[in-house]
Structure 1
Amino acid sequence: MSPRKTYPSDLSDARWELIAPTLRTWQKARLDRRPTGQPAQVDLREVFNAILYLNRTGIPWRYLPHDFPSHNTVYFYYAAWRDEGILARLGYTLTSLARAAEGREPEPTACILDTQTVKTSTDVPLASQGTDAGKKIVGRKRGVVTDTLGLLLAVTVTAAHLSDNALGIRLLDQAKNTWQSLSKTWVDKGFKNTVVEHGAALGIDVEVVPRKTGTRGFHVAKRRWVVERSLGWLMLHRRLVRDYETLPTSSEAMIHIVMIDNTAKRITGETTPTWRDPPLEHKP
């Protein structure tokens, strides 16, 4: 069969070389547990390309183009990588590599917390939705932790009615468990004393960065602008503009996929194609 034409969301060879070791190690471990030991016939790169395509375009699983593996196959791998923590592990590995490429220590010592509330689709179970009273949005709330470069260190997705304090505690626990070196974080004033005290118990100094007094409308807040930019990166992917996922863990996985792609591009020096760029041509 002749090679298919490329999509703008496809992995470059350089990015695939960063991602492949983690996925191949997972595949080998899975094959070793098979009674037959038969190798899988699926191209992992094409599976990951299909997930990137879905994430970027926002289509349902069943609408994946036919030149990808079947949507059932792609979803099987996606669900396995989600449930076994492979996507999170891959994302954090790339975060360390990107930091080293920028001349930073692989383990961050400082981070920024923020939340984002998004509407949910009609397919999302009511039990996992809520109402954000402040923003008057029915949906889910995303909490993210990034380093000072904007790279993902932790993520959690909950019903929108959960307070920033509750999310902040969960995020601090998750981030500290993964990155023991963390000792400083910046947050907005939505995070109250409860988060500050919890951070102190974990050995993390939590500094609240308020808005500038007397300044109306948008303005750049010290340190916090970094995580706000990262949340903006998520909104460039149609699958994340609204929450379509049945499980909150699937929403978290979709965020990991965005950041895996963005971080890999950062390491290889690539940029995300826009509608202004000429279409990609297949290179045999």
Structure 2
Amino acid sequence: MSLLYAVDNDEFNSSGGACDCLAHRFGNAADQPDRARAYDTDMTEEQWAALRPLLPVPAWLEGRGGQPEGYCHRQMLDAVFYVVDNGIKWRAMPADFPVWDRVYAFWRRWRQNGLIAELHDRLRGKVREAAGRDPEPTAGAIDSQSVKADSVVGAGSRGWDGGKKINGRRRHLICDTIGLLLQIRVLSADITDREAAVEMLPALRTRFPTITKLWADGGYTGVLITWALAVLHLVVTVVKRSDDVKGFVVLPRRWVVERTFGWLMRSRRLARDYERRCDSSEAMIMWSMTMLMTRRLAPRRPARSAPSAP
């Protein structure tokens, strides 16, 4: 895991230090023009102040190769947030952001090096602490969501979900008791919940050894429960829907993960799966949750209404 973003005050690499990101302070971002923040997805000063200390340090600043970046980190984050929230194509990037291929290269580098997962996990710990909880969770909930796949998704990573009648991919998600993402796996829609859980639960126990209880729906019944208890020492409790109840019903514990899926669907890039690779889909989901948690740490102040005329 890389170091935390530098927070001490140092001299800028250029006299035009309009931003305190590392690309401005030690890189070549000062040579690029500044932009006025004009979109709802742009971070406020409070949100940037909360997010900035949690950013991973670039490889070039740690002496691990690469050349100093030429684009502001804050602008790059705002550009990625804009893509995720508005669901645009990379080539449709607004002109006031850096060139689209530079933003995509930034996003791809963060996906390949696990930097978005690192930032996401640090943010989750901060949000849990702000909610009065321990940074490491002790319980969670697991569920899946099938979404249609775009035409760019190849046949090797898409399938048919017979229950939902969807041709696409399935998002397998494990969240904590307040709905924050702990683990995400995007697989072909024909992979069942139990098959995905066998792959996910060992990694969950390794990453979060404090978790001892998990809530699930009826799709996780069977030998999975006894296997998880005997091998992983993990209690999986199935919360079933009553056959006598009709219509929408809020089920205990399961509603938390359902709400998380609702949060994700507010990002238009996630309305269906537009990514060629499954790990790209997982990265988009983590970017969406990163944007949500940043806003939770530093809520945007409500706009004041103009005084009415006498």
Alignment of 1:70-219 (within 5 A): 70-200=99-229, 201-219=231-249
Within the alignment, does 1:222 sit opposite 2:248 as a pair?
no
Go from structure 1 to structure 2 and tell me whether the alpha carbon gap of 1:39 and 1:125 turns closer, same or farther (over 3 Å shift): same
Go from structure 1 to structure 2 and tell me whether the alpha carbon gap of 1:109 and 1:2 turns closer, same or farther (over 3 Å shift): closer
Structure 1 residue 15: deviation in Å? 2.1
**Structure whose alpha-carbon radius of gyration is higher:** 2
Within the alignment, does 1:52 sit opposite 2:81 as a pair?
yes
Structure 1 residue 244: deviation in Å? 0.3
1:16 aligned residue: 48
1:32 aligned residue: 63
Which protein, 1 or 2, shows the higher relative CO under an 8 Å CA cutoff with sep ≥ 6? 1
Aligned length in residues: 272
Go from structure 1 to structure 2 and tell me whether the alpha carbon gap of 1:270 and 1:180 turns closer, same or farther (over 3 Å shift): farther
One-letter amino acid of the counterpart of residue 19, structure 1: L
Separation (CA, whole Å) in 2 of partners of 1:213 and 1:115 = 21
Please give the secondary structure, in 2, of the residue aligned with 1:106.
Answer: coil
2:13 aligned residue: none
| 8 Å contact from structure 2 (residues 56, 118) kept in 1 | no
Separation (CA, whole Å) in 1 of partners of 2:223 and 2:60 = 42
| 8 Å contact from structure 1 (residues 141, 158) kept in 2 | yes
1:282 aligned residue: none
Encode CA deviations 1:35-71: one digit per residue, 9 max, x unaligned. 7xx5322101111111110101111110011111111
Please give the secondary structure, in 1, of the residue aligned with 2:218.
Answer: coil
1:61 aligned residue: 90
Q: After superposing the two structures, state which structure 1 stretch, 15-24 or 156-165, moved more.
A: 15-24
RMSD: 2.0
Encode CA deviations 1:251-275: one digit per residue, 9 max, x unaligned. 000110111111122222348x9xx
Separation (CA, whole Å) in 2 of partners of 1:269 and 1:51 = 19
Within the alignment, does 1:7 sit opposite 2:42 as a pair?
no
2:268 aligned residue: 238
Please give the secondary structure, in 1, of the residue aligned with 2:185.
Answer: strand
Structure 1 residue 31: deviation in Å? 6.1
* Identical-pair percentage: 37
TM-score, normalising length from structure 2? 0.83
One-letter amino acid of the counterpart of residue 45, structure 2: D
Structure 1, unaligned stretches of length 5 or more? 280-284
| 8 Å contact from structure 2 (residues 56, 119) kept in 1 | no
Structure 1 residue 174: deviation in Å? 2.8
2:299 aligned residue: 269
Go from structure 1 to structure 2 and tell me whether the alpha carbon gap of 1:73 and 1:225 turns closer, same or farther (over 3 Å shift): same
Separation (CA, whole Å) in 1 of partners of 2:46 and 2:203 = 30
| 8 Å contact from structure 1 (residues 23, 44) kept in 2 | no
TM-score, normalising length from structure 1? 0.90
Please give the secondary structure, in 2, of the residue aligned with 1:190.
Answer: helix
| 8 Å contact from structure 2 (residues 59, 65) kept in 1 | no
Encode CA deviations 1:187-219: one digit per residue, 9 max, x unaligned. 000112233133212121000000023001211
